Structures are given as structure tokens and as C-alpha cells.
Structure 1
């Protein structure tokens, strides 16, 4: 199954994503992922959720080929709504969510990670938003939770990646470890949370969300507005078509 849920230990649940070859999720999968995360947190026996992935990388965002192989705006709308649902599920999950990031985390992956409670990563992990190269916008809201403001702007405008080591330096990534140690590192943190009174941890999650200086849902919705404008103007299709046809950005392909 592409998205699976398992109880790793007493109060620890893992949600694993596996969409070869690069974990670029079709629209329906974003909704499925949201449901899995919320269901895991709703279980009173759960004290912490670990979100992880199999394969080459953690997440490559939305499935652009699916979007370009459909007519009209239905796939775009579903992808945007699905991403919003999955990002919100990580944020709204009743218990802390630890993300274990292997390899690459780009596009929609940043939305998942930026809304997480704890981030651990493999030492070869990179994080980035190629949105401007795809004629789209989004997840600057979440990137801003990972890096300082001016770094976020630089990365966003240039579509460059930031490394796990840099995120450790910025204080957003708890640890960067060899890939073979990634799951165990996530479990080590999860066990420390699981050892606490789950009633208190659930209250702590709600309280911390309540004091957040930015409403991540409203902020992301504003970004999506501009994505829709770019699509209505035909700009986004130009960029996505170029990427699907050549694997390059529009300017690189000229």
C-alpha cells in the first residue's frame, strides 16, 4: 500500500509514504495522507506520530504529470486542496508529529515538514521549493518556519535547496544522521514524548498551536490564490508543460 500506518511501539504510530519512484503524490494520496495522520492522532492510545517515507526521498511534491494529463482545472484544485488538507493534518494532529526526512524534501514536502513538531533528517537530505520554476506558488508559509526570513526569500526566489546541516544550524532540524540511523533517531525522540503523560502532551500540542504567531492555514490559502491566478493566466501550464516534456525549467529549455 502506498500509505501505511503501523504501531511501532506502545504509544508510537508510524505513517509511511511509498509512491515510487520519487514520492510525488497524486491528488487523492494527499487526502489519504491527511486522513491517516488525523486518525493516528485521534486514537487515544497514541502519544506521538512519526511521518516517514520509503525510497529515494521523503517527498517530491505533487504529481505534475497527473495534472498535465487532465483537462480543465480539476486536478489543480484537487492537488491544492489535498496539499492543504495534508499540511493541516500534520499541524492539527492531536499529538506531536515527528518527520523523519530521507534524501530530498521539495514542494509539498516542505508543507508537511514545516508544520511538523519535530524534524530529524538523514545527513544527505535537502529541502527546497521549486515552485517558481513550475509557474506556481505555495509553502513559503512553511519554509519560513524552517529558515530565517531573508534566507526563505532567497531560497524561494532562486528555487535553491538548503541542507539538513543548515537546518540544524538554524535550529529547526533536531538532528541530521546517517540514513541508516534515521528511523531509530526518530524513535528515540518519540520514546521521550511517549514517556510523558499523554493527556498533558495533547494539551501542550493544542496550547503551542494556539500561541503560533502565524495562522498557517490562512497564510497558505493566500499563497494558493496567486497560484490560481498564474494558472488562469496560462503561465503555470507553460512551465509545467516544459518540465514534463524536458525535465527542465522553461528558461533552461530555451
Structure 2
């Protein structure tokens, strides 16, 4: 298991503002800094750590660091997506040999990762939205109100139709961004569009699906509460509204 250690307490969205540093010493480097919201850190055997060897974004480099060289904090409590752990990571003069430097152009590497990871987040959002729509449709077909099934009420039926439209649009955007990446073509804009639209559609759709369940949607006995918690994170990591880069641990 590996972890991607980029996000910092003061630099979740502005990658160029990271404060972790790498000081050159005989035979390699010593790394100093603190990372946060690092996915899979509690289980990881090694980390890709971003740190500055010089000022400016062009001074950011990426290093391969074995687990023994980092201090991993306890798993962070999360609102949702609890099956995926995250923790803080600290480096206090960690020594790494010269060959641990895997990318001198770390900023460009980090930006390139978004082009690959954002279509994945979009696909996650598509799957989550599909589950929410399936659950809402099944419930609306068997639950009755005022003498007819829920889905026959325009207030519910129209919302389900909007969810279905958002689902298809999000799926096509995700496929387009992933197809370009697979072909080795530039996809920065398409990846960002897919991620942003699909994540928003998932949050919006799950909220409407929960509403269709009425009071039962607010119960942990139904799946909507979990889907609602899980959806919100999709808007935050890999870039969120107002932050073009976003938390990307």
C-alpha cells in the first residue's frame, strides 16, 4: 500500500504553498514537514512525499520514503467514506538517499496526477449517484402517499428524472476524460469538468433521494444516510469550488 503525501495543513489547495522542505546532505536529503489528510497512511508501506528543495513552485520535488522514515498519526475521524483511512504524517529530519528523489519537477507531476485522478473521482460520483437513484426508485415504487405510489407524484417523479439526466451527463463526462487519458492526450479541462459536475450531481442527487425517503431517509436503517455522508467528500478532494487544485491526499 502506498500513500500520496502532498496535502498540508496550510496548503491543501495551493500546491505551490507547501512548506515541507528537503535539505541536501551528504549522500542524499533530509526531509522536514507535516502532511495531513493522507489517504491510506495508517496502512502504507511507503510514501511519495512532496517537499521543496528550492523556493517557488519549480523548487518542489517528489521523494520515495519508506514507512520507517515517517511518523504516522492515528486515523482521522471522518464524516463519511470511513472505509478509506487517512492520517497526518510528520517528517523530522528523515534521511533519504539520493536515489529516493523520483521527480525534480514535483509541481508538474502533481498537476499531472490530477488529470488521472479526477476522472476516477467522477466515476466514483457516478456510481454513488446511480446507487442513490436505484434506491429512490425502488422505494418510490412501493411506498404510497395519498392513494398512489410516490413516483407518480410530480414533486417526486420530476426529481427522479432530473437525477437520471444528471447521471447520464456525469457518466459521459467521466468517460470522455478517462478516454483522453487512456489515449495519452491532454485532458486537464475535461478531467476538471467531469470531476466538478459529477461531484455536484452526486451531492444534489443524494440529497433529493434522501428527501424522497422522507423520515426514513434520515434513519441509519436505510442506505441514504451513508450515501449522503460519502457524497460530500467528492466535492472536496481533487479540487473543489473556489479551489482549482483542491486537497489531493
Interval containing the TM-score (normalised by the shorter chain): under 0.3
Which structure: larger Rg? 2
TM-score by structure 2 length?
0.24
* Higher normalized strand content (fraction of residues): 2
